[in-house]
């Protein structure tokens, strides 16, 4: 029995390393896609697109590892909660990487057009989203539910920024209708960032579940006061 527990712990430790490695790759993908758009660097954008298949493979590896542990060890309590959380975080990380690819694809198009001014605070929004992703992963590493709750709160700010983008892009289209295609691509990039923030929030919510045993998703503004069933 003790040998089984040691073997399970080894596999869980390896699984943690794999999900953190995937997280680091996804963070880099986001950084590159944002920098590519800000600098109209189509080569960097193509790098993001080309490397997405590696991230997809890592996501598959993590999922297979989770399923193997579930099948072979039938974990319970905290170990089971960890496997469930990692399965969900794994999916959110892969989706964030896909959104980075979407931003990179917008960059490839924009690089072929006349340069246009970005009519909203793209760097500020990108910095906020990257910070949310980084802190959600830090919260996972340190089992820090307080930090995870900060990430959840920050999602409202990104939503507000994204709503402002629509008005600014609409005004820019009225002023420069000949730039409508480029401006719509910039609007899409903003939307992709906002969706990445949603996935970072999902990761933070899964960390709260992992640490506290509380599912706060879909619980609205009073979710901070949710009872802790784990005591």
What pLDDT is recorded for position 224?
A: 44
What pLDDT is recorded for position 73?
A: 86
Sign of the CA dihedral 70, 137, 123, 174?
Answer: positive
> Rounded to two decimals, what is the model's pTM?
0.91
What pLDDT is recorded for position 161?
A: 95
Q: What domains are defined for the chain?
A: 2-225 (1.20.58.220)
Strands (E), 65-168: none
| CA dist., res. 51 & res. 97, Å (int) | 10
What pLDDT is recorded for position 220?
A: 53
Q: How many residues does the chain have?
A: 231
R_g of the chain computed on alpha carbons: 20
What pLDDT is recorded for position 196?
A: 98
CA nearest neighbour of 30 among 131, 178, 174: 131
pLDDT averaged per 10 residues, the chain (length 231): 78 94 97 97 98 97 95 88 94 98 97 93 95 96 95 95 94 95 96 97 95 78 41 32
């Amino acid at each position: 029995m003790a040998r089984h527990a040691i073997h399970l712990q080894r596999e869980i430790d390896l699984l943690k390393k794999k999900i953190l490695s995937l997280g680091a790759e996804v963070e880099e993908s986001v950084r590159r896609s944002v920098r590519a758009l800000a600098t109209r660097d189509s080569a960097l954008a193509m790098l993001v697109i080309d490397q997405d298949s590696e991230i997809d493979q890592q996501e598959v590896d993590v999922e297979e590892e989770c399923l193997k542990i579930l099948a072979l060890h039938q974990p319970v309590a905290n170990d089971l909660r960890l496997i469930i959380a990692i399965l969900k975080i794994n999916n959110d990380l892969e989706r964030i990487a896909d959104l980075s690819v979407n931003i990179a694809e917008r960059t490839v198009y924009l690089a072929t057009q006349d340069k246009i001014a970005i009519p909203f605070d793209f760097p500020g929004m990108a910095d906020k989203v990257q910070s949310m992703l980084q802190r959600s992963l830090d919260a996972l590493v340190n089992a820090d539910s307080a930090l995870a709750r900060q990430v959840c709160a920050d999602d409202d700010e990104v939503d507000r920024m994204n709503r402002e983008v629509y008005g600014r892009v609409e005004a820019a289209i009225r002023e420069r209708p000949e730039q409508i295609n480029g401006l719509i691509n910039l609007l899409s990039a903003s939307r992709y960032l906002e969706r990445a923030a949603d996935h970072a929030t999902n990761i933070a919510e899964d960390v709260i579940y992992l640490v506290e045993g509380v599912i706060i998703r879909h619980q609205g503004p009073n979710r901070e006061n949710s009872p802790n069933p784990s005591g």
